[in-house]
Amino acid sequence: MQAKLEPLDIQLLVNNAGNAGADPSKVGRGEFWEQAPEQWTPWLGVNLLGFLNASRLVLPKMIGNKRGSIVTIISDAGRVGEPRLEVYSAAKAGAAGFSRALAKSAGRHSVRVNCVAISATRTPATSRAMDNPDFAKRALSNYVIRRFGEPSDIANMVLFLSSDAASWVTGQTYPVNGGYDFGM
């Protein structure tokens, strides 16, 4: 029996997850065709189902208040695909599709839903690799702006999308990626 959770009374939800859960041994790595389907679950659970669950908890109050903003952090992997990260790419693309559909459903209640697609961003988990000069040179060769993203780069876009300055913006995906990819 599943516990019934009460809707949360908040005006902003930022869905931000980008890993595959707490147990790395259960995560699909390597070639997709060599992975067992149960290895896909951590990617899908964190990066897609987590977004669905969090959004479901805040929407009743947002709709009742006729106000709210949901911003989902996806990845360029969900926009353009990444080899050896096929399931992660699929989960992020699914989160983007979910967000566009939700924007159409919730928009008539003055609830906005948008995505921010990020690329290589410096975090405690990525700093070690990014500080390696060989890795940095190789990775940054794919970027027009030759630096890694900082959390503040993403936060600024989230702040805009969460504010009244974006009161007529919904159903969109904004890449914050230093020019990694210009595709739609």
Positions annotated as catalytic residues are: 88
Angle at 88 between CA 161 and CA 23, to 5 degrees: 110
CA distance 25 to 35: 12
The H or E element that residue 153 is part of is helix 151-162
User: Exposed, middle or buried: residue 183 (CB in 10 Å: 0-12, 13-18, 19+)?
Assistant: exposed
* DSSP tag of 172: -
Tokens, residue 148? 């890694």
Residue 38: count of CB within 10 angstroms of its CB: 9
Contact 26, 43 (CB under 8 A): no
Q: What is the dihedral of CA 18, 21, 24, 27, to 10 degrees?
A: -80
